Amino acid sequence: MKNNNQKTGPLSGLTVIEIEGIGPGPFAGMMLADMGADVIVVERASGKADASTDFGSTDILKRGKRSIAVDLKSDQGRNIVLELVEKADGLIEGMRPGVMERLGLGPDECFTQNPKLIYGRMTGWGQTGPMAQRAGHDLNYIGLSGALWYSGKPGDAPFAPPTLAGDIGGGATYLVIGMLAALLNAKSTGQGQVIDANIVDGSANMMNLILTMVATKTASFERGKSLLDGPHWFDSYKTSDDKAITLGPLEVKFYKIMLEALNLQNDKDFQVQYNPKLWPTQKEKLQAIFITKPQVHWNEVFKGLDACYAPVLNPAEAAEHEHNQARGYYFEKDGILQAAAAPRFSETPTNDKGDIVARGANTNEILKELGMGEAAIARFNADGSVVQSS
């Protein structure tokens, strides 16, 4: 399709159709848009999205995209989407298995229009299996996959950072990887394919480093006994101002620097680093030390040292930290704090400063790009097949 607002970036010239959804699908679309793809979101013509997940003008996941509002249940609305598909490189959908087929927009119909299309499917449980049709969210998926197991203290119920390990890590990231790999394959073979990206598979795959550690006896399936969830030197600690800091000096040379910073280099209780039997007592003693001073004090103590130390910051504080400031990672646009695109490209800068698109803002523009005349566009708007927002 001809986009008059062509962007720069490594994916410039790529067109992706994103069927309106929540969570990982839109996040994947944002990543592709950040990298220069023309991402066209097909949104509900009725505008009746779930109020709990429709963030409107504050939805960062819609930055840099274009929007067309279509009635997918109408013949004309479906035909418009198929026309978009004919000219697109990829499609992202996050419906329950079978919904797109019932709408007449499944892989078979889309491949008839465009055999080179990369059809990206984003679900929690996957397209097949006994739980494929069951409702769920991030925490459920990573609970089933094993990825939640190590998140939390022994004796407590696990709790991971919301959406990060599941929706974004195991979901959106794997969908983008799959889409890009398939696009490269289609470029050489001319053959499109379906990507079954789901959070259970992706987050389980993320466990392979931990499973390597289990195989080498440096990790255990018993919480609190592994190299990265048990030691006193790999944990977070509360400070006197009700904030927290993190330590992670796994290597002996960095551990020694940590001890010297805390004046513990001669303390007999800390001379043995890798004895799991000592870790609980060592943790208690470190917590007793860190709770005596505020976070800013410990920032100064560890400043410039290779002790594998960092404070625990909320996003607003992270945006003000000197390192993130130097990198320009956070930015504010229209009063909304956002994180910049990642990764960074030396020759094809990303497009993360795009506007957050309103529902149906580009409907008529996109229909014109499909070759439709003014009369047809007016008719489709009048009968509700599409909606152009004001």
Cα angle 249, 342, 119; round to 5: 120
Is 269 annotated in the active site? no
Run of H or E including 289: helix 279-290
Q: How many helices (H) and strands (E) does the chain have?
A: 15, 12
Residue 217 backbone dihedrals phi, psi, to 5 degrees: 70, 20
DSSP character string of 297-337: HHHHHTTT--S-EEE---HHHHHHSHHHHHHT-EEEETTEE
CB neighbourhood size of 166 (10 A): 31
d(CA 29, CA 176): 8
CA pseudo-torsion sign 6, 8, 13, 16: negative
CB neighbourhood size of 348 (10 A): 14
On the CB side of 195, CA atoms within 13 Å amount to: 32
Is 167 annotated in the active site? yes
Contacts for 192 with CB less than 8 Å, ≥ 6 apart: 111, 114, 115, 116, 117, 118, 119, 182, 186
Cα angle 34, 35, 41; round to 5: 55
Q: Which of 137, 196, 297, 321 is catalytic?
A: 137
Q: Which of 167, 201, 229, 235 is catalytic?
A: 167
d(CA 365, CA 377): 10
Contacts for 326 with CB less than 8 Å, ≥ 6 apart: none
Give the active site residues.
137, 167
